[in-house]
Amino acid sequence: MTNMTYRDAVRLAMIEEMDRDQNVFIMGEDIGKYKGTFRVTDGLFERYCQEPRDWLVEPPHPEILDGVGRRVIDTPITEPGIVGMATGAAMTGLRPIVEMMTMSFSILALDQIINHAAKIHYMTGGQISVPLVIRGPGGAANQLSAQHSHSMEGWYAHVPGLKVVAPATPNCAKGMLKAAIRDDNPVIFTENPGLYSMKGDVSDDVDEIIPFGKARIAKEGKDISLIAYSRMVNVSLAAAELLAADGIDAEVVDVRSLLPLDTETIYNSVRKTHRAVVVYEDWKSGGFGAEIAARIAQDCFDDLDAPVGRVGGLNVPMPYARVLELQCIPNEQDVLAEVRKIG
């Protein structure tokens, strides 16, 4: 195990997979010499672009996507074009990774993602696969304002044909990104910008992947289940420490895979503690946490001793002012208040 940041774990996963498979390449805005907005692609341009080419004139082909070709492609500012090209490349057998400068900008590419990438395998009767990864920062960072702070994972988890993951730790980020790159289906891989500097132990095994559809118990407990994903796992863990001071032993479930969703681990936790609070950064109304809460209420009704609680972001556009931004993002005090409310 090596201790590293979440950002470095994501980068290492891409390097290991690009070294392993010559069909893997990455494309996006400012990911080359600029190293990406959050510096996730630092060093990749120098490593994989020894022979620069003009990709607007000479499009990529399998025979030149090799160790001396150009496999880190800076694109124009056109999200629909980026995802459209990546989808076409994936259909021919390549394995593109699209970095969105922010997942908020993926809204511009919804037609390509939802109407094409997600449906081509189904609409061709399984004849064509789309091994495509769309990854980037999703959620609030620090004063990036309303148009750059969306949590998009719930929107995509609504769409059959996509896989959607939101890892909370550096080790999960590496293992799940490797799984995403090897998957033959389109994967939405969301990275909360508040996690990029978080450090943790990461596996040194280049072949170790973390499969989708399997939640993780981040902390065991017996009195209440705090169910979260992405950065809200850290918030839930902080809340669990505060609850422990009041004699409440909280269990924290890291969902990490939204589509497919591991309901078995979630339900087993709720059946043990008999209480649940779902914590998510997205707008509370209609966010993916509401789906988790609804499933618990429906399928674990006889096991619950209290209504299912929910803690989500305020239903307002994200303010620019830092003091207001912090009011919109769930924190451990919000979780404590919800736990105490449901009793």
All domains of the chain in start order, with CATH: 2-202 (3.40.50.970), 216-342 (3.40.50.920)
Mean pLDDT of 7-22: 96
Q: How many residues does this entry show for the chain? A: 343
Q: Quick one: pLDDT at residue 64?
A: 43
Q: Quick one: pLDDT at residue 48?
A: 87
Is the preceding peptide bond at 137 cis, omega within 30 degrees of 0?
no
Q: Tokens standing for 83?
A: 């995802």
79 catalytic, yes or no?
A: yes
Q: 149: closest CA among 329, 333, 335?
A: 329
Q: Tokens standing for 188?
A: 């939405």
316 Cβ contact partners less than 8 Å away, ≥ 6 residues apart: 328
Mean pLDDT of 85-106: 96
Instruction: Tell me: pLDDT of 267 over 80.
Output: yes
The residue from 17, 79, 251, 291 that is catalytic is 79
The residue from 16, 29, 99, 148 that is catalytic is 148
Mean pLDDT of 236-255: 97
Residue 227 sits at φ, ψ, to 5 deg, of -110, 120
Q: Where residue 292 falls among pLDDT bands split at 50, 70, 90? A: very high
Instruction: Tell me: pLDDT of 221 over 80.
Output: yes
217 Cβ contact partners less than 8 Å away, ≥ 6 residues apart: 251, 252, 253, 254, 265, 269
121 catalytic, yes or no?
A: no
**24-74: per-residue pLDDT in tens?**
999 999 998 888 888 999 989 888 886 545 444 555 544 444 444 589 999
Q: Tokens standing for 109?
A: 């590419």
